Amino acid sequence: MGIDWDLLARSFWPMVEGAIKGTIPLTLVSFSLGLVLALVVALMRLSAVAVLRGIATAYISVIRGTPLLVQLFVIFYGLPSIGLTIEPWPSAVIAFTLNVGGYAAEIIRAAILSVPQGQWEAGHTIGMSYGTTLRRIILPQAARVSVPPLSNTFISLVKDTSLASLITVTELFRQAQEIAAFSQQFMALYIEAAALYWVICLVLSAGQSRLERKLDRYVAH
């Protein structure tokens, strides 16, 4: 069967629409919530309270030690067995948020630890509380260190959102699947979907490089 170029042209906008209405919002919401969760977990890992460190360590271990697909299926297909049913889109957000939180927590923790101890001492010397020192001195410096790995996590999440198609979330790859199932042009349509993911990631990578150069101006060499 030859390639139906007209079909590829007609399927382009539905896939782009799937990216705009599904892939991108899912990525932005999950990553934003995941960063908040990651910061909390990172601070728990750095806490002097053993129980908090233990909870954070266990959470990170579970998230990093299990496949994202399994985490997604546990939330969407597993929770109903104990009486908790969650719609597809929120299920995907929860799974991706928890996953980002587990990976980004270690990035943020490492970035915080990279800030010289003297910065903490300087904050305490001028009367700043722990929270104020963290917010005004430590986190701004840690942000410069964490931008590259966090950007990579963000780009990876864009691609990982394709897994949401397995729980019927309408996004870029779900659109490709539906069109392919109807037309039987699986190879061509999946390559088209892959090309769209590639373009999105290229744009994000360019933005990452620009942000890194901008932040590098404020780093002493």
Q: Which tens digit of pLDDT belongs to each residue from 43-57?
A: 999 988 999 999 999
* pLDDT at residue number 220: 44
- On the question of pLDDT at 221 being above 50, the answer is no
Query: Tens digits of per-residue pLDDT, 169-191?
Result: 989 999 999 999 888 888 999 99
Quote the pTM value: 0.89
Query: Tens digits of per-residue pLDDT, 83-96?
Result: 999 999 999 999 99
Query: Tens digits of per-residue pLDDT, 188-201?
Result: 999 999 999 999 99
Cα–Cα distance for residue pair 172/18, rounded to 1 Å: 4
Task: Report which of residues 137 and 20 the model is more confident about.
Answer: 20
The two structure tokens encoding residue 133 = 């020192």
Q: Is 184 left (phi over 0), alpha (psi -120 to 50) or beta?
A: left
